[in-house]
A and B are shown apart, each in its own frame.
Chain A
Amino acid sequence: MTSQGRSSPLLEARNIWVVYSDGTVANKGVSLTLYEGEIHGLVGENGAGKTSFVHVLYGVVRPSAGEISIRGVKTRISSPQDARRHGIFMVPQHNVLIPSLTGIENIRLSNGKGAVERVHRIVDELGLEVDLETPVERLERGMVKKIEVLRALSTGARIVILDEPTSVMSPVEVEDLARLLRALRGAGFSFIFISHRLDEVVEICDRVTVLRDGQVAYTGGVDDVDRLYRLMFRGEEFLGDRHGGGGTDLLRVYLGIEGNGQEELANMYLSGSRGFTGYVPGNPYRAVVPGMSLVDNVRFRVLERDVDYEEFTLRIVRSYEVVAKDIYTPIDRLSGGNMQRFIVGREVELSQDRCVLMYPTRGLDMRSMALLHRRVWEAVERGCEVIYFTEDIEEALMLGGLVSVVYRGRVSEPVPADKADVDRLKMLMSGIGWS
């Protein structure tokens, strides 16, 4: 399988430093070796420096120090085009294909005829199950991701960087993607796999590099989620223990991939409430005003209410561990994770009798997730009804409450999280077992 002993290093990054113009040091001497035919996980909490590191490999960010070798030859990568010439391709988190075209049409359009032939060859040789003939907009997201991987390979790439490829997939789709990656690994392709879902990383990756504060905290094989968690957070114990109190009907958890009718459900909850209803929309950028400070980003939400904005903002920043220079910093200066925690904090703490949270932990690391879960339970304990949407089965089980699966506009019978049958939830999420 992994054959580190046999094969030679395909890519070696040594002692990479990334210093941004504002003085932020995002990578402090990161080294990583990628072997031929390896799926290499890259994990770390938000802000650990994962994105900065892969941006160096992809020529988006210029490192301040360090060197990169490809097949033993020292190389400079100064742009994404350059990276592609060296056989490196990055698949971004969000879909970049043209929705109305099929997979093949997309590949032909972006990379030409030769690329199409190359893809056909790979698909035939490895016997891959990929639908390249249906317009992308009619495909499930897992299939789209598989096509994006093939599109990357169609450029002749040998190394593919996958940025959180599974963040919006159902468990069955994740398994499907894993199958594809394993088949491609057998053919000598290599992958760098960024993910926050540690169970997947353990399942899919041959080796894992853990980043902490811009440094490598660990590189090697990992076969246990708890160990990985401790590596990410300096040996802290796993905070995300399952919460008790499964079955309280104040916490309603809707599990399902976005776009299965969650929007409509959320609107139903938003319209039938008396006091102030907190709401984190699926697209959190709808809930912030760029160019305004954190305080004003609280103020705009409760303009008519008598709130001490400054004090409230400070409270949110503290209890949700938002990293910001001060509360007068423009909100666009915050990193994605911090902005997300800020918005969720604002909505949860403003809520009076109800709070609707759509995918509030999307893109957050497990520690932030555990923190938000604690705050959600505090809200529940003070009598606030929380409607919680998630795409992640692990999260749903960890959070507790009453869980239903949402699929194509249907909602399954709610069950207490601590009595839920994982396999059944997985099947329902994938459309199996509905009467």
Chain B
Amino acid sequence: MQLYRGLATLLAVSIAVAAYSGVIILYGGDPVEAYLKMFRNAFLDPYGLRETMRLAAALGIISLGLSIVFRAGLWNIGAEGQYVLGGLAAGYVVYILSLHGGGPVVPLLMGALIGGLYAALPGVLRWRLGVNEVLTTLMLNYVALYLLYYVVYGVWRDPQTGFPVTPEIPSLYRLPEIGGFVGGLAIMLLLAPVLYHLLFHTRYGFKLRVYGLNREAAEYAGYDRRMIIVSGLFISGFLAGLAGAGDFLGSYYRLMPRFSSGLGYTAIIVALLASNHPLLVPIASILFAGFLYGSYTLAIVADIPTEATYLMTGLLLAMLVSTQYLERWIGWLARRL
């Protein structure tokens, strides 16, 4: 079964890569050359590598949280909103409260906390009223997005520039670089084993997995459903909020409309690519960040439209969500051969 799962993931990736290659050919390019160029741009070029790792840090931190809720069989589609709200909460600490003590720590934790609460809200709706978390988490993304627009176009707008951006934050709030890369990367690499431990070596993680594999069995064993739903969503929102605050304090230093760039959705793909396994998330997020950054550079230098990137990620998501069917199909094929 493990084997079939691996093959199914591979098949999903292959189909997406084939589609992307098709687009490259359509635009008169050579796919092999294009992939080599992407790899060079994303991993061998020093500036490119920094950008790749910046993306990987945010993607990875969000995916770590998603790998926890997905294991519980809950679909948090709202990481994007939780990420944005994390940034906004950190912004509130910096711009409004102006709390100096601790530098980036207080706004970072505030962002995570608010992100967590924002995700726990659909959890509460789920256990109290039975509202499907897919819908509520998705809808709350828009609430967060318009809140972001409200502050960057209005109340927090930098009066010095004419652009819809907030002022750059003072350096004392900035998250320092570690090892030449954004601080978030180190946070992601540190969190991966912690979440692995939580999921596979604690009672809490065990209950979460039981709930995800068979809800009825979890109820049969007397597990507290409410606790699992709310805490699972809280953890994933906490990490998405942390990523948002981290990007605000560690790489953008300000808020702007494109602060919401769809990372929360892309992270779903990364979590699925990593089979919701926290130790595989760093690898998957670095590879995927490399692909994303590489394909953006390709758009600039080789005229391959960025729509091709969206096509590939969309296709990949669809294929990964259907891996259980692919898995069954591969198993069926294996029995026939």
Contacts and interface: CB of A to CB of B under 8 A. Distances in A.
B214 A301 contact: no
A118 interface: no
Contact of B217 (A21, A287, A303, A330): A287
A21 B206 contact: no
A303 B203 contact: yes
A21 B334 contact: yes
B83 to A, nearest CB: 30
A290 B214 contact: yes
A290 B213 contact: yes
Given A21-B335, A330-B1, A288 B206 contact: no
Nearest to A297: B217
A299 interface: yes
A301 B213 contact: no
B206 A299 contact: yes
A274 interface: no
A288 B214 contact: yes
B47 interface: no
B306 to A, nearest CB: 38
Contacts of A288: 214, 217
A289 interface: yes
Tier of interface size on chain A: 10 to 19
B210 interface: yes
Given A21-B334, A303-B203, A292 B213 contact: yes
Contacts of A285: 214, 216
A301 B221 contact: yes
A289 B217 contact: yes
Nearest to B335: A21
B157 interface: no
B207 interface: yes
A281 interface: yes
A300 interface: yes
Consensus secondary structure, chain A interface: loop
How many B residues touch the partner, as a band?
10 to 19
Interface string B203-231: 10011011001101110110000000000
A292 B221 CA distance: 15
A300 B335 contact: no
A291 interface: yes
Contacts of A301: 221
A271 B48 CA distance: 63
Contacts of B213: 289-292
B216 A286 contact: yes
Contact of B220 (A286, A292, A296): A286
Contacts of A20: 335
Contacts of B221: 300-301, 303
A303 B214 contact: no
Nearest to B217: A289
For A300, A303, A330, which residue has the most chain B Cβ atoms within 10 angstroms?
A300
Interface in A263-302: 279, 281, 285-292, 296, 299-301
Contacts of B1: 330
Contacts of A330: 1
Contacts of A21: 334-335
A296 B221 CA distance: 13
Nearest to A301: B221
A140 B265 CA distance: 51
A346 B216 CA distance: 17
A224 B207 CA distance: 51
Contacts of B203: 303
A307 to B, nearest CB: 13
Nearest to A333: B1
Nearest to A304: B203
A55 to B, nearest CB: 13
A300 B206 contact: yes
A279 to B, nearest CB: 8
B276 to A, nearest CB: 12
A292 B214 CA distance: 10
Given A21-B335, A292-B213, A303 B207 contact: yes
Interface in B226-284: none
Contacts of B335: 20-21
Given A288-B214, A330-B1, A303 B220 contact: no
Contacts of A300: 206-207, 210, 217-218, 221
A135 B214 CA distance: 33
A285 B209 CA distance: 16
Nearest to A62: B336
A151 B133 CA distance: 43
Contacts of A290: 213-214
B321 to A, nearest CB: 18
A300 B204 CA distance: 11
Nearest to A22: B335
A145 B59 CA distance: 56
A286 to B, nearest CB: 4
A281 B220 contact: yes
Contacts of A287: 217, 220
A286 B214 CA distance: 8
Interface in B283-337: 334-335
Interface of B: 1, 203, 206-207, 209-210, 213-214, 216-218, 220-221, 334-335
Interface of A: 20-21, 279, 281, 285-292, 296, 299-301, 303, 330
11 contacts: A21-B335, A281-B220, A285-B214, A286-B220, A287-B217, A287-B220, A292-B213, A299-B206, A300-B217, A303-B206, A303-B221
Which 5 pairs of residues, A with B, have the shortest CB-CB distance? A286-B216, A300-B210, A289-B213, A21-B335, A289-B217
Given A296-B206, A330-B1, 13 more contacts: A20-B335, A21-B334, A279-B220, A281-B220, A286-B220, A287-B217, A287-B220, A289-B213, A289-B214, A289-B217, A290-B213, A300-B207, A303-B206
